[in-house]
Amino acid sequence: MGNFTELDAYLFGQGTHYDIYKKLGAHLSVDGKKKGVRFAVWAPNAKRVFVIGEFNGWDETANEMERVEPESIGVFETFVPNIGTGVLYKYLIETADGTLLYKADPYANEAELRPGTASKVADIEHFKWTDSKWMKDRAACKDPYEKPMAIYEVHPGSWMRHPGREDEGFYTYRQLAHALADYVKEMGYTHVELMGILEYPFDGSWGYQVTGYYAPTSRYGTPEDFAYFVDYLHKKGIGIILDWVPAHFPKDAHGLADFDGTPIYEYADPRMGEHPDWGTKIFDYGKSEVKNFLIGSALLWIEHYHIDGLRVDAVASMLYLDYGKNDGEWIPNKYGENKNLEAIEFFRHINTLILGRNPGTVMIAEESTAWPQVTGKAQYGGLNFTYKWNMGWMHDFLDYMKLDPYFRKDNHHKMTFAMSYNGSEHYILVLSHDEVVHLKCSMINKMPGEEADKFANLKAGYAFMMGHPGKKLLFMGQDIGQYREWSEERELDWYVLENPHNKGLQEFVKELLHIYRKYPCMYELDGGGEGFEWINADDAEKSIYTFLRKGKDAKKRLLFVFNFTPVARDDFRVGVPELKDYKLILTSEEERFAGSGNVPAKKTYKAEKRPWDNREYSIRYPLPPYGVAVFEY
């Protein structure tokens, strides 16, 4: 009797086989007294399937697979004795018309290093985890919204490389664990978000065109090495989020497209199953086995590899049937609308399942439209994501920051508008890799003015982002003011830190991150309006913004003041809520931040009973050009 049982077939056919990765793919096994590997693959419309590999000299007929009962489920299985881990293999699929296809295993746990396209037998069950404290604390987390979240987005192959090597000089997962944990810990980020971990063939896709949904890329080591990476970061108190791409997949010959000679993973009609702009295939979210494939992948990363959350890429492209398509290139749903009802149901299922089974984890939507209730509860019509990337804030923020300061007064609303809809979703404010590629310029080179002005502008912008409600994400290189756009082909320009301006910016971001984590008022009440209060949102003429951040108790609150012009306001007065002392805890003028060094000797400012900004009380503070000042009270 085969390993794939009738119960497995039933659950898989329902889309609810949540351990499917333990049944399909290649697994060490024993048959009678013989040790070997059991192979199982879903290919419902294949005439015959063979497993070929190093173990049989790639002999195309040596190991034919058997269609398991019930035959309608379309799973083929075989046992190959006397082989073990590390063996390369593929499935040879004979289609209904006799064509031969050579396919990698969709459920493989390891892949051959590109440009090779074979799968590799792996044993992922024997890693000794030592992050039990992290996992216990994660499971005990009742409300992730009340926790700090400052994410460092990382592309592992281009964060740092070994110099002078003939190969690409990639850090292995184990080397990266130590170097990255040290950096993230020192800077004060709470999480890393990793790009390009699920196996993918083409470096230039950055991992967004996946062929191996169950395999960490072999570019940086083995599955066990990846487990070590996760385990090590957890022990250092750092959470890990993975980019996960259920929106589409590439057409590579060894991949999922037309897997058994027919479109079993993608919608059959190209108007549903193809992205014209991207040249990729769209998963069929109405098919139980396809949904199960994707759900099983998500659960593998979160439950087996202890990943703390998934950032789901290109959500909008899944929700809209006409996304990136012209008239005649898409089919409306049964109500004549452009909503993909099957994708909506898929999101509700997977998000409810993952968050329900794994308290303390997060599901994050990269969703670029005004789709309602992305983070709303499924029972009330929402998609049940934990967070949504705030792309609207990002576009407004960058539009404003790029402007010559003279024109900012006419665009003042761009920095205040996000607060008008802040309560509609749970947001993450993002400055991601997408903003520093394709001739969009690096963050520092988006800023107006000469070099010193650019850095002063960027410090003010980052401080505004940190003070604004919402969790945070910065892409690597942005915290050091890298001048060049990011490229996956080289490491970050770490040498820029020899420049005092770049080093000062890095120190400033570090200080912001430590303040963010130190004061609960910065993150406890992000979602609604109760954690934030404008003092003055309307000072367009001077391009000055002032606001308060408040936590659950009144012990420590923060007052933020921003000057987005090069004009000093030596006698600047700001309204304050109470007749108290206001202690200056951050000014961008400090020499360690490459500021002017003109730091007021006075650290505590006593409120006066002088009405200002529609408040009874106020304080006076010498606000420098592009000045940032944060007060605790």
One of 366, 425, 435, 524 is an active-site residue; which one? Answer: 366
Beta bridge partners of 103: 91
* SS3 per residue for 51-120: EEEHHHCCCCCCCECEECCCHHHCEEEEEEECCCCCCEEEEEEECCCCCEEEECCCCCCCECCCCCCCEE
**174 near 225, Cβ under 8 Å?**
yes
Percentages of the chain per state (helix, strand, coil), in multiples of 5:
30, 25, 45
Based on the residue annotation, tell me whether 410 is a catalytic residue of this protein: no
- Does the CA dihedral 220-223-224-228 come out positive or negative? positive
Based on the residue annotation, tell me whether 313 is a catalytic residue of this protein: yes
d(CA 589, CA 386): 37
Question: To the nearest 10°, the Cα dihedral for 595, 601, 603, 607?
Answer: -110
Beta bridge partners of 91: 51, 103
d(CA 576, CA 114): 60
DSSP-derived letter for residue 254 is T
Burial class (CB in 10 A: 0-12, 13-18, 19+), 60: middle
Q: Identify the residue whose tokens are 């997977």.
A: 350
Question: Pairing state of beta strands 212-216 and 280-281?
Answer: unpaired
d(CA 25, CA 278): 28
Peptide bond into 70 cis (omega under 30): yes
Residues 6+ apart with CB under 8 A from 363: 309, 310, 312, 350, 351, 354, 355, 384, 385, 386, 387
In order, the DSSP letters of 427-484 are: EEEEE-GGGGSTTS--HHHHS-SSHHHHHHHHHHHHHHHHHSSSEEEEETTGGGT-SS
**269 near 332, Cβ under 8 Å?**
no
Nearest to 405 by CA among 535, 562, 534: 562
- Output the CA angle 140-141-145, nearest 5 degrees: 175
Nearest to 468 by CA among 402, 526, 542, 424: 526
Backbone φ and ψ of 617, nearest 5°? -125, 165
Give the other-Cβ count within 10 Å of 458's Cβ: 24
d(CA 284, CA 500): 53
**SS3 label, residue 237:** coil
One of 243, 313, 342, 367 is an active-site residue; which one? Answer: 313
Nearest to 419 by CA among 545, 508, 561, 313: 545
The catalytic residues are 313, 366
